[in-house]
């Protein structure tokens, strides 16, 4: 989620990791990529697109690197990426719009985008279809091809063309909303009596409140809310008494479970959640310390933490957006000042950063290598080592992309050991081919 606009948060302390809980092994990184130029560039939200790629939004102050073609226009930034993180197109829009907060694909092939000033509907190529001139924290497409958007104190329903269908006020503020399973919406925000408290509202089709619940939480606000896949429950995040918690609730606002994630005092932080494919939760934030790093935690269907993964380098790294992809892999995004550790290719200062980790490399594995042939490491960063047995020392090594096109790569021969240099290639999946006396042995590899 974008930076929280309503709360002064504290130094982030990951309570679970220090609580003696044993985690399973987190999945390995499949690929990572930095996006930007030599100035400050952030990614605030990433979603998967129907083609298996990604759509991302954030902000840029750069005019070089990945931004060379934008004529120096800075501010709002949108990127379309392929499944391996390569840029298919990217656009900047206006110096007066500072940042994109939220983006998601729409049913007709475009995107709905919220910014610090406007809600914008984009065509598939990133060009503007229409603009609704009101800031919103989030916007989601509804089943009738319209949109439900959350302005600070108003829930607004837009028609498919961006005209307003209805609006409903919520005092003092709301942050996020999603469609209910029985009509209407689930709205996350806060109410105010003697103090501000987090609240989740169940509304009818025009935003009127049917029921609400705060579970006796105090001094805080609701944050993100999202649907799971079981047609009955939601993952809800909120702040209560200087602590961010994650809860699972049903369609009638009944509580299934809740877990504490962060302790907060006086620090404006970043945080995001998503539902997993198995109806648990995924959470991302920046951990505590003088140099923060990204922390991603997966919770099972009952709220028990499965694993925690730390990401970053020697400088500050900030996690803002996460989700589990349709193939089971996980994506974490935000921005980084590092250029070591897990981070490779920072253009300078802060870069937008996306990391994909998991065990599904995305295409069917192809391998018929003899057991004596050793290929490592997989996934590989800059160099791939192919250790050949005697009898295959005269082999020809080739590398092909997923379409079968042979690629030109540098190869070093050291006796039976071949070193293939991958650094010039985009991150992704490739087919290693070893040709010897008319035979061709193949193995799929991953480069990140």
| Torsional class of 172: left (φ above 0), alpha (ψ -120 to 50), beta (otherwise) | alpha
Both 45 and 181 in one domain: the answer is yes
Which CATH number belongs to the domain containing residue 402 in this structure?
2.60.40.10
| pLDDT at position 214 | 83
Strand partners, 322: 332
| pLDDT at position 68 | 81
Tell me the average pLDDT of the chain: 87
Return the sign of the alpha-carbon dihedral for residues 422, 339, 292, 236. negative
Both 346 and 420 in one domain: the answer is no
In this predicted structure, the answer to whether residue 224 has a pLDDT above a threshold of 60 is: yes
C-alpha span between 243 and 251 (Å, rounded) = 24
| pLDDT at position 195 | 65
Q: For residue 433, what are the domain limits?
A: 374-447
Tell me if 349 is assigned to some domain. Answer: yes
Both 325 and 386 in one domain: the answer is no
- Asked if residues 79 and 93 have their Cβ atoms less than 8 Å apart, the reply is no
Mean pLDDT of 266-290: 83
From 324, 357, 390, the end of a domain falls on 357
Using a pLDDT cut of 70, give the percent of the chain over it: 89
Strand partners, 332: 322, 355
- Asked if residues 320 and 45 have their Cβ atoms less than 8 Å apart, the reply is yes
- Asked if residues 287 and 270 have their Cβ atoms less than 8 Å apart, the reply is no
Residue 367 — very low, low, confident or very high, per pLDDT cuts 50/70/90? low
In this predicted structure, the answer to whether residue 240 has a pLDDT above a threshold of 90 is: no
Note the pLDDT tens digit of each residue in 72-103. 778 999 999 988 888 999 999 976 788 999 99
Tell me if 285 is assigned to some domain. Answer: yes
- 379: Cβ contacts below 8 Å, ≥ 6 apart: 28, 29, 30, 31, 361, 445, 446, 447, 448
Tell me if 322 is assigned to some domain. Answer: yes
Residue 217 — very low, low, confident or very high, per pLDDT cuts 50/70/90? confident
Exposure string over 424-448, b if 16+ CB within 10 A, otherwise e: ebbbbbbbbbbeeeeeebebbbbbb
At 20, phi and psi to the nearest 5? Answer: 80, 10
Both 316 and 378 in one domain: the answer is no
Both 81 and 146 in one domain: the answer is yes
Higher model confidence: residue 314 or residue 30?
Answer: 314
Mean pLDDT of 223-235: 94
What's the number of domains the chain is made of? 2
Both 208 and 256 in one domain: the answer is yes
C-alpha span between 268 and 131 (Å, rounded) = 29
Tell me if 119 is assigned to some domain. Answer: yes
Tell me if 2 is assigned to some domain. Answer: no
Beta-strand runs (E) in 68-132? 75-81, 87-92, 100-105, 111-115, 119-122, 128-132
Both 262 and 386 in one domain: the answer is no
Give the pair of three-digit tokens for residue 172: 């003092």
C-alpha span between 229 and 279 (Å, rounded) = 6
Residue 7 — very low, low, confident or very high, per pLDDT cuts 50/70/90? very low
Residue 275 — very low, low, confident or very high, per pLDDT cuts 50/70/90? very high
In this predicted structure, the answer to whether residue 8 has a pLDDT above a threshold of 60 is: no
| pLDDT at position 6 | 33
Mean pLDDT of 313-325: 95
Both 71 and 137 in one domain: the answer is yes
Residue 246 — very low, low, confident or very high, per pLDDT cuts 50/70/90? very high
In this predicted structure, the answer to whether residue 435 has a pLDDT above a threshold of 80 is: yes
Using a pLDDT cut of 90, give the percent of the chain over it: 59
Both 285 and 386 in one domain: the answer is no
Tell me if 366 is assigned to some domain. Answer: no
| pLDDT at position 437 | 75
Residue 258 — very low, low, confident or very high, per pLDDT cuts 50/70/90? very high
Both 155 and 247 in one domain: the answer is yes
Element at 330 (helix H, strand E): strand 330-336
C-alpha span between 362 and 429 (Å, rounded) = 8
Which CATH number belongs to the domain containing residue 107 in this structure?
2.130.10.10
C-alpha span between 378 and 87 (Å, rounded) = 23
From 316, 331, 357, the end of a domain falls on 357
Tell me if 248 is assigned to some domain. Answer: yes
| pLDDT at position 267 | 42
Tell me if 292 is assigned to some domain. Answer: yes
Both 186 and 335 in one domain: the answer is yes
Note the pLDDT tens digit of each residue in 15-52. 333 344 567 899 998 889 999 999 999 999 999 998 88
| pLDDT at position 337 | 97
Return the sign of the alpha-carbon dihedral for residues 16, 25, 233, 269. positive
From 357, 384, 403, the end of a domain falls on 357
| pLDDT at position 264 | 63
| pLDDT at position 415 | 85
3-state secondary structure of 147: strand
Note the pLDDT tens digit of each residue in 282-295. 999 987 778 889 99
Both 95 and 58 in one domain: the answer is yes
Note the pLDDT tens digit of each residue in 119-168. 999 999 999 999 999 999 999 999 999 999 999 999 999 999 999 999 99
Residue 105 — very low, low, confident or very high, per pLDDT cuts 50/70/90? very high
């Amino acid at each position: 989620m974008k930076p929280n606009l309503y709360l002064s948060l504290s130094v982030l302390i990951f309570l679970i990791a220090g609580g003696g809980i044993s985690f399973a092994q987190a999945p390995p990184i499949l690929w990572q990529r930095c996006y930007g130029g030599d100035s400050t560039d952030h990614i605030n939200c990433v979603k998967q697109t129907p083609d298996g790629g990604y759509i991302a939004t954030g902000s840029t102050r750069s005019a070089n690197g990945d931004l060379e073609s934008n004529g120096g226009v800075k501010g709002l930034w949108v990127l379309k990426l392929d499944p391996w993180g390569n840029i298919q197109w990217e656009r900047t829009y206006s110096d007066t719009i500072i940042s994109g907060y939220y983006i998601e694909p729409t049913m007709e092939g475009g995107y709905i985008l919220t910014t610090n000033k406007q809600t914008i509907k984009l065509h598939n190529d990133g060009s503007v279809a229409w603009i609704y001139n009101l800031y919103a924290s989030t916007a989601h497409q509804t089943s009738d091809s319209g949109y439900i958007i959350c302005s600070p104190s108003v829930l607004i329903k837009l028609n498919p063309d961006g005209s307003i269908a209805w609006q409903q006020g919520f005092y003092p503020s709301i942050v996020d909303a999603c469609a209910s399973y029985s009509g209407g919406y689930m709205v996350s925000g806060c109410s105010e009596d003697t103090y501000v408290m987090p609240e989740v509202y169940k509304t009818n089709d025009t935003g009127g409140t049917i029921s609400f619940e705060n579970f006796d939480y105090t001094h805080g606000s609701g944050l993100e809310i999202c649907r799971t896949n079981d047609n009955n429950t939601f993952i809800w995040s909120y702040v209560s008494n200087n602590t961010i918690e994650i809860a699972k609730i049903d369609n009638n606002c009944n509580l299934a479970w809740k877990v504490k994630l962060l302790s907060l005092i006086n620090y404006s932080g970043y945080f995001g959640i998503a539902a997993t494919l198995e109806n648990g939760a995924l959470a991302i934030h920046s951990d505590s310390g003088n140099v923060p790093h990204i922390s991603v935690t997966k919770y099972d269907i009952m709220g028990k933490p499965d694993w925690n993964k730390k990401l970053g380098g020697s400088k500050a790294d900030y996690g803002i957006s996460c989700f589990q992809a349709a193939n089971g892999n996980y994506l974490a995004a935000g921005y980084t000042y590092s250029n070591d550790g897990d981070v490779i290719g920072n253009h300078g200062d802060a870069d937008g950063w996306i990391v994909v980790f998991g065990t599904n490399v995305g295409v069917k594995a192809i391998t018929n290598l003899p057991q004596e042939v050793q290929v490592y490491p997989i996934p590989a960063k800059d160099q791939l080592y192919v250790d050949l047995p005697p009898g295959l020392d005269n082999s020809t090594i080739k590398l092909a992309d997923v379409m079968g096109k042979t690629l030109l790569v540098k190869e070093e021969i050291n006796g039976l050991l071949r070193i293939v240099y991958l650094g010039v290639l985009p991150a992704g999946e490739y087919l290693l081919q070893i040709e010897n006396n008319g035979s061709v042995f193949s193995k799929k590899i991953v480069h990140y």
